[in-house]
Amino acid sequence: MVDKEKRIGILGGTFNPIHLGHLMIAEMALEAFYLNRVIFVPAKEPPHKDTDVIDAKHRLDMVQVAVLDNPNFVVSDVEMKRDGKSYTIDTLRYFREVYGANTKFFFIAGTDTIQSLPSWKYIEDLLDICEFIGAIRPGATDDIGETIEWFGQRGSRIHILEVPEMKLSATDLRYRLRHGLSTRYMLPRLVYQYIKDHKMYGV
Ligand code: ATP
């Protein structure tokens, strides 16, 4: 019997914290590309963008509680367990090993991340392993057209996914949490509870 092809989405991120923008693009990608599941992969490196450096374990746990009620969403700690620097190419190679050759991988990202792809380390290798799904994110700086052209020149696939645009970012949410502003309808309820229980982000 021939194995049915599996289609798996990978959503990497810092998830500091995970918010409804992440969950929404994962769900839209799952639906539009007939994915069997989406794997959320929290990055190991603490965000150095600002002072809210949260223990990797908490970021992972928050993703875990956020996906609890969705049987199509799973979380992987593969990047967090890896010694030394962690590259997306290693993560994709790992999943290819786990899921076998009959699996097609889709790397899901917001358009801001998509625009940065040409400068990623080992990007040419990554292009061989997966296709890309770019979810339109409000406020992305440049025209995505240039990036699409860049992919085209390499014979690689990038799919632009129209999603209900949510102007949500973890940075804004950290600001809201720190300043006692509402995050209701922006953060999953259980994630907010987790943040409260662990007294994170100044809550
Ligand atoms: P920060 O504000 O700390 O930079 P973030 O909200 O961008 O965080 P990340 O964990 O860095 O969250 O994002 C993971 C992936 O999800 C990235 O590819 C990012 O582009 C995408 N993403 C995050 N928020 C949205 C959103 N509101 N709409 C579409 N894509 C999003």
DSSP symbols for the chain: -PPPPEEEEEEEE--TT--HHHHHHHHHHHHHTT-SEEEEEE-SSPP-SSS----HHHHHHHHHHHHTT-TTEEE--HHHHSSS---HHHHHHHHHHHH-TTEEEEEEEEHHHHHHGGGSTTHHHHHHHEEEEEE--TT-SS-THHHHHHHHHTT--EEEE--------HHHHHHHHHTT---TTTS-HHHHHHHHHTT-TT-
Q: Is 72 in the pocket of ligand 1 (CB under 6 A)?
A: no
Rounded Cα gap, residues 76 and 23, in angstroms: 15
CA atoms within 13 A on the CB side of 168: 22
- The answer regarding whether domain 6-167 maps to CATH 3.40.50.880 reads no
What pLDDT is stored for residue 20 in this prediction?
Answer: 98
> Tens of pLDDT along 105-151?
999 999 999 999 999 999 999 999 999 999 998 876 567 888 999 99
CB of 37 closer than 8 Å to CB of 20: no
Copy the structure tokens of residue 55: 């223990």
Ligand 1 centroid to residue 173 C-alpha, Å: 11
Instruction: Assess whether the C-beta atom of 22 lies below 6 angstroms from ligand 1.
Output: yes
pLDDT reported for residue 27? 98
User: What is the predicted pLDDT for the residue at 3?
Assistant: 59
User: Which protein residue's CA is at the shortest distance from atom 26 of ligand 1?
Assistant: 21
The chain-wide mean pLDDT, for the chain, equals: 92
**pLDDT value at residue 195:** 98
Give the Cα separation of 40 and 60 in Å (integer).
Answer: 9
pLDDT at position 130, please? 96
Contacts of 134 by beta carbon, 8 Å cutoff, 6+ apart: 109, 110, 111, 114, 144, 147, 158, 159, 160, 161
Residue 176, burial from CB neighbour count under 10 angstroms (0-12, 13-18, 19+): middle
Does the Cβ of 27 fall within 6 Å of ligand 1? no
How open is the CA angle 97-34-19, to the nearest 5 degrees?
Answer: 85
What does the pLDDT read at residue 183?
Answer: 98
User: Which residues of the chain are modeled with pLDDT < 70?
Assistant: 1-3, 46-53, 140-142
Domain ranges, ordered by start, for the chain: 6-167
Give residue 54's pLDDT. Answer: 83
Tell me the pTM: 0.94
